[in-house]
Amino acid sequence: MIYENISLKKYNTFGLNVKADRLIPFKHEENVISFLRQQGGSEQSLFVIGQGSNLLFTGDFHGTLIHPEMEGITLEGRKDDVVIISSGAGVLWDKLVESTINNGFGGLENLSLIPGSVGAAPVQNIGAYGVEVRNTIERVRAVSLENGSVREFTNDECQFGYRSSIFKGELKGKYLITKVYFRLSTRPKLSLEYGSLREEVSKLGSVSLKNVREIVINTRKSKLPDPAILGNAGSFFKNPAVSESLAEELKKKDPQLPVFNNDSGEVKIPAGRLIELCGWKGRRIGDAGVHDRQALVLVNFGRATGKEIFDLSEKIKESVFEKFGIMLESEVEIL
Ligand code: EPU
């Protein structure tokens, strides 16, 4: 089935009513392979769209969107406490998390309720509450958009970084992910160091996968707007990593600024706090706004255009740069 001149309102969580020339859903890997072989790399503007939960369209899309709908969650193998699970790229991320937890397999619980599909998870190495998906990815199966050949990427080959991977770097726009394999555990080491996670989970009685999931879901719901109600794409910017000396200076301006040391001797600071200190939290220009509970999230109150949301993001970048000398980088992909 090929949809032509189709509205993308349902395919982007900002709820923007832009159009694409063509959108083609694929349920099976073999069909996408034969489509790509026929194309033989002739179509220049092919783009893969999952749930559109990390995208900002600034206008109509001229080209072909491929929408992976590969289903299926499979137990591929089990040895001692390690289990290997595969999931089709079209499975909703949180359905996978829920299903693994129901089976007693740990590793994804901190990533509960993240919007989007499984196929998008490795692309930007989704992360939350002290865990990144790179910690559990065994390998990623993908198809070349240029010639339809299949390649499996090991965890190392994915070149994961903070909200990045080879699929956002060197191979950006070159592959379509069809399946992801996860290495989970029946005796997981839980990650509870983020904020008050441990304390909140303990309040529920036992420290179990289900309880971690429940607290993560509650925390997300209390801070982050539900895209079904208020259009948004989660964090709009990445948290910047700065030198220790700059972090010290910033601390002088804002003693409450939370800072997190990372492995490479740099300090990660929350962009949400910087945006808030510039007075943007809860502000609105037309229908584009800054969420009132989490300044890192830009929202569409209904009729904002992608261009208006983009312009707001640029204004925020300018004022953070003026006040702190830090240039924020978008986390959301802008098209
Ligand atoms: N903060 C403020 N003001 C704000 C927002 C945050 O002062 O308006 C402060 C908070 O008080 C807290 C710190 O910033 O001390 C961190 O806040 P939070 O725990 O909400 O996390 P974040 O750093 O703003 C990141 C991820 C989120 C993820 C959360 C929880 C990025 C770009 N974002 O946000 O991921 O859910 O941590 O782990 O790294 C996403 O990627 O779309 C996303 C939502």
Domain ranges of the chain: 3-68, 73-222, 225-334
Own/partner pairs, 71-80, CB within 8 angstroms, 24+ separation: 71/27, 73/99, 73/100, 75/103, 76/181
The hierarchical CATH code for the domain 73-222 is 3.30.465.10
| Cβ contact 36:77 at 8 Å | no
112 lines ligand 1 (CB under 6 A): no
234 lines ligand 1 (CB under 6 A): yes
- H/E element, 182: strand 175-185
Query: Which of ligand 1's atoms lies nearest the C-alpha of 281?
Result: 8
Query: For residues 125 and 133, what is the distance between their CA atoms, to the nearest angstrom?
Result: 6
Which CATH number applies to 225-334: 3.40.50.1980, 1.10.10.60, 3.40.50.620, 3.90.78.10? 3.90.78.10
User: Which residue minimizes the CA distance to atom 25 of ligand 1?
Assistant: 128
Query: For residues 63 and 21, what is the distance between their CA atoms, to the nearest angstrom?
Result: 6
pLDDT tens for 226-262 read 999 999 999 999 999 998 888 888 888 888 888 877 6
**First CA to last CA across the chain, in angstroms?**
24
User: Which residue minimizes the CA distance to atom 9 of ligand 1?
Assistant: 273
Q: What is the pLDDT of residue 117?
A: 97
Centroid of ligand 1 to alpha carbon of 64 (angstroms): 34
Q: Give the residue ranges of the chain where pLDDT is below 50.
A: none
| Cβ contact 134:146 at 8 Å | no
Q: What is the pLDDT of residue 116?
A: 96
Which of the following is catalytic: 163, 213, 220, 273?
Answer: 163
Centroid of ligand 1 to alpha carbon of 202 (angstroms): 22
User: Which residue minimizes the CA distance to atom 32 of ligand 1?
Assistant: 238
Centroid of ligand 1 to alpha carbon of 296 (angstroms): 7
| Cβ contact 186:81 at 8 Å | yes
37 is an active site residue: no
Tokens at residue 125, please? 């190495």
- H/E element, 4: strand 3-7
CATH topology of domain 3-68: 3.30.43
Q: What is the pLDDT of residue 245?
A: 86
Q: What is the pLDDT of residue 41?
A: 65
Query: Which of ligand 1's atoms lies nearest the C-alpha of 224?
Result: 44
Helix axes 209-223, 93-102, angle to 10 degrees: 150
Query: For residues 80 and 196, what is the distance between their CA atoms, to the nearest angstrom?
Result: 32
Query: For residues 128 and 111, what is the distance between their CA atoms, to the nearest angstrom?
Result: 6
60 lines ligand 1 (CB under 6 A): no
Pinpoint the alpha helices (H) of 168-294.
197-203, 209-223, 244-253, 271-277
235 is an active site residue: yes
Query: For residues 307 and 30, what is the distance between their CA atoms, to the nearest angstrom?
Result: 37
Query: For residues 209 and 188, what is the distance between their CA atoms, to the nearest angstrom?
Result: 9
128 lines ligand 1 (CB under 6 A): yes
Q: What average pLDDT does the structure give for the chain?
A: 94
331 is an active site residue: yes
Q: What is the pLDDT of residue 263?
A: 67
pLDDT tens for 152-190 read 999 999 999 999 999 999 999 999 999 999 999 999 999
239 lines ligand 1 (CB under 6 A): yes
Query: For residues 186 and 208, what is the distance between their CA atoms, to the nearest angstrom?
Result: 12
